[in-house]
Amino acid sequence: MPQDQRANTAPLRPLFPAIEPYATGVLELDAPHRMYYEQSGNPKGIPVVFLHGGPGAGASPVHRQFFDPAAYRIVVFDQRGAGRSTPHGCLENNTTPHLVADMEKLRKHLGIERWLVFGGSWGSTLALAYAEHHADRCTGLILRGIFLCRKSEIEFFLYGIKNFFPEVWHTFAERIPEAERGDLLKAYYSRLTDPDPAVSLPAARAWSVYEASCSTLLPNPSLVADFGADRVAYGLSRIEAHYFKHEIFLPENFLLDNIDRIRKIPAVIVQGRYDIVCPLVSADDLHRAWPEAGYEIVADAGHSAFEPGIRSRLVAATEAFKARLA
């Protein structure tokens, strides 16, 4: 079983310096979707693809910085409906099988034979789904903040967080009339999909701020402010509620039931001990089903990839794969 990885047992690793893409593009998907992607680092380096969270959160420039730009060919893209992909917040033809197919289309478009797959939170969900469908295209997996999108996890997100962040939960829940609070997902989904921005945007901000407020071990006002911005909140909340409502468009427990498909892929799981958005039990369940994967619990961290201990372990993982795949 894993030992808690404490911040004081080894020097913390910083992110790599900020870099700009050497190429950007838009990949035409099935109508109406168009997907933004970029490449940075070394064009002849080890291919790695970064999968952002949410679903619907979109990628940011800082996500390039988990990888040594001299060694990696870093592929970052915004999943359909998210970030710089268009139409923003679009739910039409937006399912997990679509996203898996989009990754394959992008891989082929870029002429990449196999790549390292890096994903946290919802990105870990998508990474597992992709690998279980295309194991032969994965050189390895780096997973953080495990989310298997089971009914119990969705229920915890909507109600269980109250046990740890009661004041944040009450702010989230009390935006909904009391008569509808027995099904917060249904209540929020109806508002998030309302065509009137006067209805959808306040609901989007409430949902997104709720998630951000619970994502770090210590309060992070800048993260909450970022998640509360209209564009971020709209894409994240709509697409997240859409996937939750449809149980990620995969059978219950699909990701654990199909671990045998990826058992031989080298993998590292990094999990914050005090992750409230994606509680530790999911990472533990994944590790028990897949003991061959490396598993590290960061003792002094919550959910965010930028918690110091988590950031450090993720960079260590990319460095270890750099040596392995060189």
Is residue 303 annotated as part of the catalytic site, yes or no?
yes
Cβ atoms 21, 40 nearer than 8 A: yes
Q: Kindly report the average pLDDT of the chain as a whole number.
A: 96
Question: Which H or E run contains 123?
Answer: helix 122-133
Residue with tokens 């309302």: 194
Q: Exactly one of 52, 63, 242, 303 is catalytic; which is it?
A: 303
What three-state secondary structure class fits 282?
helix
User: DSSP secondary-structure letter at 5?
Assistant: E
Q: pTM value?
A: 0.96
Per residue in 173-194, pLDDT (tens digit) is 999 999 999 999 999 999 999 9
Per residue in 211-254, pLDDT (tens digit) is 999 999 999 999 999 999 999 999 999 999 999 999 999 999 99
Cα–Cα distance between 116 and 137 in angstroms, integer?
A: 9
pLDDT of residue 111: 98
Q: Based on the domain organization, do 12 and 143 belong to the same domain?
A: yes
CB-neighbour burial class of residue 46 (10 A; exposed 0-12, middle 13-18, buried 19+): buried
Is residue 275 annotated as part of the catalytic site, yes or no?
yes
Q: Based on the domain organization, do 103 and 213 belong to the same domain?
A: no
pLDDT of residue 186: 98
- Residue 40 sits in a domain whose CATH number is 3.40.50.1820
Among 196, 231, 247, the domain-final residue is 247
Q: Based on the domain organization, do 90 and 174 belong to the same domain?
A: no
Q: Exactly one of 121, 208, 237, 304 is catalytic; which is it?
A: 121
Cα–Cα distance between 307 and 298 in angstroms, integer?
A: 10
DSSP 163-221: GT-HHHHHHHHTTS-GGGGGGHHHHHHHHHT-S-HHHHHHHHHHHHHHHHHTSSSS--H
Rg (the chain; Cα; Å)? 19
Tell me the residue ranges of DSSP E strands in 52-201.
Answer: 72-77, 115-120, 138-144
Per residue in 73-84, pLDDT (tens digit) is 999 999 999 999
Q: Exactly one of 213, 275, 282, 312 is catalytic; which is it?
A: 275
Q: Based on the domain organization, do 24 and 116 belong to the same domain?
A: yes
Residue 72, domain extent: 4-150+249-325
Residue 294's closest CA among 321, 322, 325, 276? 321
Per residue in 261-314, pLDDT (tens digit) is 999 999 999 999 999 999 999 999 999 999 999 999 999 999 999 999 999 999
Cα–Cα distance between 4 and 211 in angstroms, integer?
A: 25
What three-state secondary structure class fits 268?
strand
Residue 77's closest CA among 94, 91, 60? 60
Our count of domains for the chain comes to 2
Q: Is the pLDDT of residue 8 over 70?
A: no
Model confidence at 7, pLDDT cuts 50, 70, 90, reads: very low
Among 247, 272, 307, the domain-final residue is 247
Is residue 136 annotated as part of the catalytic site, yes or no?
no
Under 8 Å CB-to-CB from 291, ≥6 apart: which residues?
none
Crossing angle of the two packed helices 151-158 and 184-192, in degrees rounded to 10: 80
Per residue in 142-168, pLDDT (tens digit) is 999 999 999 999 999 999 999 999 999
Q: Based on the domain organization, do 8 and 111 belong to the same domain?
A: yes
